[in-house]
Copies of this chain bind each other. A is one copy, B any other.
C-alpha cells in the first residue's frame, strides 16, 4: 500500500482527490491537512464524506507529512507549495503538486506571472510537468510532479501533436476556453456568488491569465515560438471545461493530416477519447472523470484549424490527472482508481 497525505483537503481539488483516493485499491490515506477548518472533521466541511471518510482536518506539519507518507499531494493556493515541497522531499516523500509553483521552469517567468520571487528555484529544473500523455517517462523518474493547470491541460493536449504540422515561422494560436465555477476554488466572493454567476456568461482576464505562459511553455517543447492568446470565460455550471483552440493562417494542415496526428498520439491513451465524424466534445460527457474528449474541424477556405477538448476541470484538469501521475510515479497500472463512467445526466 502507498501511504498518501493530502494538504489542502478543505478545497475543491483536495476533496476531489479524496474522492478518487478513498476508492483507490493501493492507497492508504494518512494525514489530511487543511489551511482552514482545522480541527473539524472532513465530513463537517464536505458532507459527501459522511460515513465514508470520517477523519479530522489537521494542521499542515510538513515534517510529519513527509515521515508518514510515500506520496504527498499539495492542493494549495499558489505560493505555498514552494515552501512545503523542499521539506517534503528532504523528508523522503515524493510530491505531486496541483498548484502553480513548479509548472514554469524559468524563475523570472514565474516572477513576472505570479508577482513574487520563487523561493525554491533549484527545484524548477527537477520538477516534471505532469501532463502524463506527454511526459510519462520523466514522471516515472522524478520526485516532484508539477500537475498542469486545468486550462493548459485542455488546450495543450490537442495542440501538442498538431503544432508540428503547421508550416512557416510563426504559429499563432487563440485559445478560447470556457470553465465551470469550481475552477475558481471554494473561496466565497462576489465573483462566485450564485446570483451573479447564474444566468450569466462572463469573460475574464482576456489576454492576461496566468495560464497563458504555462501553455506557451508546454507548446514550445514541440514548436518553439508559438504565441498563445488566451481568453477564459466563466460559465454558469459547477464542473466542466472546454477549450476551443484556433490555428489561423495560410499554411495549415488539412483535416486528415490533423486527425492522423491525433490518432498517432492518442489512439492508445486510456484517458484521451478522439471523437469521430460529426461528434463534438461536450463537458458533461466527462463529468466526474479523468477523460479528455477531443475533436477537430478544419476550414481550408477560411484558413482555420479548430481543436476542441472537453474535460472535468476537477478531474483531468486537477485531481484525476494528479492521481494518474501518482500511479505512474509508483509503478502502478496507470488507470488504477480512475476508471468508471462519467456521471450523465
Contacts and interface: CB of A to CB of B under 8 A. Distances in A.
Interface of A: 12, 15, 18-19, 22-23, 46-53, 172, 174, 176, 178, 180-182, 186, 188-190, 192-204, 206-207, 227-229, 231, 233, 235-240, 242, 244, 246, 248, 273, 275, 279-289, 291, 293, 297, 299, 301-304, 306, 308, 310, 339-345
Number of copies: 4
Given A48-B285, A178-B235, A198-B236, 18 more contacts: A15-B344, A47-B344, A49-B341, A50-B275, A51-B291, A172-B303, A180-B199, A181-B195, A182-B195, A186-B190, A198-B238, A199-B240, A201-B240, A203-B282, A204-B280, A206-B308, A231-B244, A233-B244
Nearest to A51: B273
18 contacts: A48-B286, A48-B343, A178-B201, A180-B199, A186-B345, A188-B188, A192-B195, A193-B194, A196-B284, A196-B345, A198-B199, A198-B238, A199-B237, A199-B240, A202-B282, A203-B308, A229-B246, A287-B343
Contacts of A275: 50
A172 B288 contact: no
Contacts of A229: 246, 248, 299, 302, 304, 306
B47 A201 contact: no
A174 B172 contact: no
Contacts of A206: 244, 280, 297, 306, 308
A23 B244 CA distance: 32
B50 A207 contact: no
Contacts of A174: 174, 246, 248, 304
A342 B236 CA distance: 19
A168 B267 CA distance: 41
B195 A341 contact: no
A33 B274 CA distance: 26
A193 B192 contact: yes
Contacts of A279: 47
Contacts of A178: 178, 201, 233, 235
A299 B231 CA distance: 12
Nearest to A282: B202
Given A174-B304, A301-B227, A188 B199 contact: no
Contacts of A288: 288, 343
A196 B189 CA distance: 13
A236 B181 CA distance: 13
A239 B19 CA distance: 19
